[in-house]
Structure 1
Amino acid sequence: MREVFQQELAEVQERLVEIATLVAVSIQNATQAFNESNVSLAETVIADDDKIDLAALELDELAINILARQQPVARDLRIVVSALRISASLERMGDMSEHIAQLARYRFPDKVVPKSLRGTFQELGALDVAIANKLVELLKTEDVRLAEEIRNDDDRIDELHLSVFDKVLGETWKGAAIDTVDSTLASRYHERFADHAVSIAKKVQYLATGDWVVAPS
């Protein structure tokens, strides 16, 4: 029974990595669609979000089944419960990718944001893609150095997110109302994507080290 239980825990980890990989592909495609006004790629992201949702649901069912049958304790219990919470965060990251892609679809054939902000959003997208790829490796390896890198990337995303608000609220802003709305929404989606990744990184770091990372006030 113990061997079966360990195999089930390994399957939980494998499924988390699979979902994280789907999310990484999703944000890569979403940011490309956003920056290039690629409606075909945007449609792919939107359609593929169902795959992320289904994979997360199936993982949740597996974890709940393990809890009911195996009644894990101590670290094993933390692994299963953390998997449920990580699955929820990954699903939300997929939603953020979908929202970014939806903006690209709605504004096609135009670009979503004015020229003055495109460099900022290219950096936001690149950082989110990097975070997603690091998250895949973190879930595979539990290398806590990756968790620290994800938090550092998130700090930069927060800076860029604030810079978007400063830009659209500044006296020199020439964008129309729709530009203001799209820019603030898109920035928020990028920022929330990274926040969910940080939340996952903290949980993995806790499982690996036993130490819970508390964000500075």
Structure 2
Amino acid sequence: MRMKFHEQLDELTDRLASMCRLAGEAVQAATEALVLADLPLAGRVFDLNEQIEELRGPCEDLAMALLALQGPVARDLRQVVTGVHLVTDLSRMGGLVQHVAESVRRRHPGHVASGEAEELLSRMGRVAAELAGLAEWVLRTHDPELAAEIGRRDDELDDLHRRLLTLIEDPAWSGTIPAAVDVTLLGRFYERFGDHTVVVGRRVIFLVTGEQMTS
């Protein structure tokens, strides 16, 4: 019975890591679509997000079945409860990336952003994809030191976000009001994506140590 339980826990972990991998692929595709004004790439983001959502239900069902039928305690219980929360975080990551793709579709055949703003958004997208890769590895290894590294890498994303806001708030910026709105929203989508990877890391630290990481 216990062997079966841990096999199911491993299955849950693998599905969660797969959701994170798909989110990373989606943010990379969305960023390329943004820079290239590429409609097919934007469409791929929708396909990837659909795959994320297809994994969400089975993850939730498996976690609830483990809680109801196995009565886990201590670390096993933390792992199942953590899994329930992670499903929501990973789904939201996919949703945020889809917002980027929707912006590309809405402005096509034009670019959503240009010049320095586009470059900063591109860099934010690259860092976000790297954060998703770290988060996937943390989910697979349960390495608390690597989980803490996500927070440190997210600081780089936050710095890029601040630079983006400073750019469009500068009176010398020549962009239009619609462009400023687009850039502001896109920056927020990437910044929130990074925040969710940090939450993934914190949840894994709680899983391994039983301690909440608040900073």
* Residue equivalent to 1:163: 163
Q: CA–CA distance in 2 between the matches of 1:48 and 1:25?
A: 8
- Determine whether 1:90 maps to 2:90: yes
Deviation at 1:129, TM superposition (A): 0.7
Q: How do residues 126-205 of structure 1 correspond to structure 2 at under 5 angstroms?
A: 126-205=126-205
Could you say which residue in structure 2 is the equivalent of 1:54?
54
> Which letter maps to 2:203?
K
The alignment's C-alpha RMSD in Å is 1.2
Q: Which runs of structure 2 are paired with 1:9-24 in the superposition (5 Å)? A: 9-24=9-24
Give the Cα separation in 1 of the matches to 2:6 and 2:101. 39
Deviations 1:93-129 (A, max 9, x none): 0011111111111111211113121221121011001
Per-residue deviation, 1:42: 0.1
Q: Secondary structure at the match of 1:77?
A: helix
* Alpha-carbon distance between aligned partners in 2 of 1:12 and 1:176, rounded to the nearest angstrom: 47
Inter-partner Cα distance in structure 1 for 2:71 and 2:130? 37
Contact 1:29–1:42 (CA under 8 A) maintained in structure 2: yes
User: How far apart are 1:133 and its partner, in Å?
Assistant: 0.8
Structure 1 residue 37, shift from structure 2 partner: 1.1
Where 1:171 maps in the other structure, the secondary structure is: coil
Percent identity over the alignment is: 33
Which residue is equivalent to 1:81?
Answer: 81
- C-alpha separation in 2, matches of 1:155 and 1:163: 12
Structure 1: 4+ residue segments shifted above 6 A: none
Q: Is the 8 Å Cα contact of residues 114 and 179 (structure 1) preserved in structure 2? A: no
Aligned letter for 1:23? A
Q: How many residues align?
A: 215
Give the structure-2-normalised TM-score.
Answer: 0.96
Structure 1, unpaired ranges of 5+: none
Is the 2:135–2:201 Cα contact (8 Å) retained in structure 1? Answer: yes
Distance in structure 2 (CA, Å) of the matches to 1:209 and 1:65:
24
Q: What is the letter of the counterpart of residue 163 of structure 2?
A: S
Q: Which residue identity is paired with 2:147?
A: A
Instruction: Answer whether contact 2:75 2:208 (CA < 8 A) is retained.
Output: no
Report the 3-state secondary structure (helix = DSSP H, G, I; strand = E; otherwise coil) of the residue aligned with 1:95: helix
| Aligned ranges 1:98-137 → 2 under 5 Å | 98-137=98-137
Tell me, in whole angstroms, the C-alpha distance in 1 between the residues paired with 2:185 and 2:64: 35
- Give the whole-Å Cα distance in 1 for the aligned partners of 2:117 and 2:41: 21
- Deviation at 1:144? 2.3
Q: Distance in 2 between matches of 1:18 and 1:120?
A: 28
CA contact (8 A) 2:148 2:202 kept: no
